[in-house]
Structure 1
Amino acid sequence: MKEDTLVVHEIYASVQGESTFAGLPCTFVRLTGCNLRCAWCDTSQAFYGGKRIRRGEVLERALALGTPLVELTGGEPLLQPGSFPLLAELCDAGRTVLVETSGEADVSRVDPRVHKIMDLKAPGSGESHRNRWSNLDHLTPRDEIKFVLADRADYAWMRDTIRERRLDARGVTLLASCVWGKLSPKELVQWVLDDGLRVRVQVQLHKVIWGADAQGV
């Protein structure tokens, strides 16, 4: 069965670099493959390759690293059918579980105990037309929406999207991130303050610690 195995790029322990969980020790299970090609993608190494591993072994290896927090990421992890039972099994094992997903993949099958961290792609990504807006109906207050912004136009799109779709009334956490090296966090903070947006501005902590090009950290 397709759900019995997963194509895995890497499994490692580090600290969470983004989201409201930033700074916490976390085990990352990075799956191979993605159907989007965002202009600013920083994990293109996970588009191809990897190793097919039985789901039970993936679970065992993730739990063995001993962190209370586990994130399933990619690539796009929800493209693989085995990701859904793996998320549930990680929850069953008592872990706090996150899934990082693009906003294009259907999130309706994700175990409700999982914290979904879902992108909404701004125009600068080149993939804004791929946003699956119906996913918004499957988000709960435990979930987070992340906007990755390359410039002022992306910021304006985020601001208008939040207002038009009343995202700040849904109870989800809204995250605003700068494309590394493209947009200054100082500029983003000022725009957020000027417009009174209810978003959490974040930086990619792992890049601050290890540098923009480091992998597996």
Structure 2
Amino acid sequence: MTDLRLTEIFYSLQGETRTVGLPTVFVRLTGCPLRCAYCDTEYAFHGGEKWSLQAIQEKVASYHPRYVTVTGGEPLAQPNCWPLLTALCDQGYEVSLETSGAISLLGVDSRVVKVMDLKTPASNEMSRNLYENIELLSPQDQIKFVICDRKDYEWARFKLDEHRLVDRVDEVLFSPSFGQIESAELAEWILADNLPVRFQVQLHKLLWNDAAGH
């Protein structure tokens, strides 16, 4: 039986990425091998409940969504995440995967939009970046940098050029770490350097102050 451990399934507005603001069902899997300094979903590290693949599909379908995001924690830490992603695509949803970039993307269904982090120095998990994953990204995918300070910004700017990220993926996202850097400051840096990246803030935190279920 294909079971997964889930922290929550909920319907909300997408707070980040290219589909920000669009109604989306979120499937949050439990567990993560990383401990990023700025993590805002520590409640998903442990616990959760075991769900069958069929039960997840039925719950998602009850919302009649167009968009579904599989997130965590780190969803790929559970081997059954791969069949879950394929099953959701087979149901006709536009499926995205939010992943840390620390686990191989090999075998992820090609229909899935992968939103992959590159962990910056201030995340304290930079050593977990699996750079081979960049080669597995497609033109529909997105790469996200969470920026905590100027050092993070300069590091991200270097990686942008080193790996020619703008040419590889649909969007490169620069997001200010909530509570660590002023959003306007990061925006000004991007403008000053004329970087071809999308600046984003976390809409769900502005609307609901990061409450669970949003």
- Which TM-score applies when normalising by structure 1? 0.97
Structure 1 SS opposite 2:195: coil
Rounded to whole Å, the distance in 2 between the matches of 1:91 and 1:53 is 18
Rounded to whole Å, the distance in 2 between the matches of 1:108 and 1:70 is 20
- Residue 94 of structure 2 is aligned with which of 82, 93, 96? 96
| AA matched with 2:202 | Q
Look up the match of 1:206.
Answer: 204
Look up the match of 1:215.
Answer: 212
| AA matched with 2:151 | A
Contact 1:139–1:172 under 8 Å retained in 2: no
Rounded to whole Å, the distance in 2 between the matches of 1:73 and 1:191 is 29
- Residue 43 of structure 1 is aligned with which of 41, 44, 64? 41
- Residue 81 of structure 1 is aligned with which of 45, 66, 79? 79
Greater mean deviation of Cα atoms: 164-173 or 8-17: 164-173
- CA deviation profile, 1:86-107 (whole Å, cap 9, x unmatched): 1111111110001100010111
Look up the match of 2:123.
Answer: 125
Structure 2 SS opposite 1:21: coil
- Residue 194 of structure 2 is aligned with which of 193, 196, 204? 196
- CA drift of 1:182 comes to 0.8
Contact 1:16–1:22 under 8 Å retained in 2: yes
Rounded to whole Å, the distance in 1 between the matches of 2:143 and 2:178 is 18
Rounded to whole Å, the distance in 1 between the matches of 2:166 and 2:141 is 12
Look up the match of 2:64.
Answer: 66
Look up the match of 2:137.
Answer: 139
| AA matched with 2:168 | R
- Residue 18 of structure 1 is aligned with which of 16, 19, 28? 16
- CA drift of 1:181 comes to 1.0
Contact 1:116–1:144 under 8 Å retained in 2: yes
- CA drift of 1:187 comes to 0.8
- CA drift of 1:167 comes to 1.1
- CA drift of 1:171 comes to 3.5
- CA drift of 1:193 comes to 1.2
Look up the match of 1:6.
Answer: 4
Structure 1 SS opposite 2:206: helix
- Which TM-score applies when normalising by structure 2? 0.98
Q: Pairwise CA RMSD of aligned residues?
A: 0.9
Contact 1:11–1:30 under 8 Å retained in 2: yes
Look up the match of 2:25.
Answer: 27
Rounded to whole Å, the distance in 1 between the matches of 2:191 and 2:200 is 14
Rounded to whole Å, the distance in 2 between the matches of 1:118 and 1:13 is 22
- CA deviation profile, 1:2-25 (whole Å, cap 9, x unmatched): xx1000000010010000000000
What runs of 5+ residues in structure 1 fail to find an aligned partner? Answer: none
Look up the match of 1:106.
Answer: 104
Count of residue correspondences = 214
Rounded to whole Å, the distance in 2 between the matches of 1:177 and 1:53 is 32
- CA deviation profile, 1:136-162 (whole Å, cap 9, x unmatched): 011011100000010000000000110
1:57 maps to 2:55: yes
Structure 2 SS opposite 1:163: helix
Rounded to whole Å, the distance in 1 between the matches of 2:63 and 2:158 is 42
What runs of 5+ residues in structure 2 fail to find an aligned partner? Answer: none
